[in-house]
Amino acid sequence: MEIKHDIIIFMIDKNDFSKIGIGTWGIGGFMEDNNSNENNEKQIDSLIYSLNKGINYVETVYMYAQGKTVDLLSKSLKKSKVDREKVFITLSIYEQDASTIEEVENRINNFMKTFETNYIDNIQFPMSFVNKLGIETIKKLIDRLINEGKIRFTSLTNSNLEFLKKYYQAFGNKLFAHENVFDFEIRENEKLGIIEYAKQNNILNVIFQPLRRNRTASRNWPLLVELSEKYGKTQNQIILNWIVSKGFLPLVKSSTVKHIDENLASFDFQIEQDDLDRLNNFEIPNYTSPKIDWFENGDGIKICQLPNVFDEICPKN
């Protein structure tokens, strides 16, 4: 809640979130601007549709499409029928976006200017970037921006357990979420106690690539095939329903009305507890977790890359 000129403004909070959030990887391009006006208009239309259907959590990053993603998201929100205060916006800032704390603040100010807003709900950093700049340096900036009303919360992404504990000690209830990898196949964050620590401390588990960009369904794991047939739902709908049942917020990116509606229909049925238990207890036969390169020094696999390299680590029989 915010008070402006004696008018009470109610800003969205986690209790008001939609079942799924909007991920923005691929909007306007990937790491490069796709320079396609036709595709950009298509992406704007899908974002407007998603927002008007009540999907009210969105995360974006400046480095996506060389800043085009942020621009298209801003245009979509302005063209939609949705008030700014009814959408929770997370801006993630990576080392590719800013190299100093001054550049971080410049990114935040530029983002607010682009969106024509006076606040951002949540500023999120990868653990490796916070480790480089230092928690105290980050804390000094975030505390000041919170006090100034420019941001509401801060979050981490791709953190190990030790660092998540340090960040929580620094920010307490202003640590909003930990965005991490979790899906039907990849459960390292759960096995290492990272997800449980977040749950115990009211830190929202936000999940990116929950469907591994449809690659999980392409594997046709027998359990998913069985449950898909039993409930008359797609494998992706089974996965999303299961992830949400755990109290997590999965981020999905869809560029067609058909896929957006399919994702939203993932929650119009209930999976029986016995089947949820089977999903929770599923383990991939003969799978060994790879060494995780938490601090991105080249020794192991970066946790954020596990969804992309899983099929190489665990090839189809």
284 contacts 185 by C-beta, under 8 angstroms: yes
- Identify the structural domains of the chain with CATH numbers, from first to last: 9-313 (3.20.20.100)
The pLDDT value recorded for residue 2 is 54
**Sequential pLDDT tens for the chain (317 residues):** 554 444 445 799 999 999 999 999 999 999 999 988 999 999 999 999 999 999 999 999 999 999 999 999 999 999 998 999 999 999 999 999 999 999 999 999 999 999 999 999 999 999 999 999 999 999 999 999 999 999 999 999 999 999 999 999 999 999 999 999 999 999 999 999 999 999 999 999 999 999 999 999 999 999 999 999 999 999 999 999 999 999 999 999 998 999 999 999 999 999 999 999 999 999 999 899 999 999 888 999 999 999 999 999 999 87
The pLDDT value recorded for residue 317 is 74
The pLDDT value recorded for residue 1 is 52
The dihedrals phi and psi of 197, each to the nearest 5 degrees, come to -60, -45
The pLDDT value recorded for residue 134 is 97
The pLDDT value recorded for residue 10 is 74
The pLDDT value recorded for residue 7 is 42
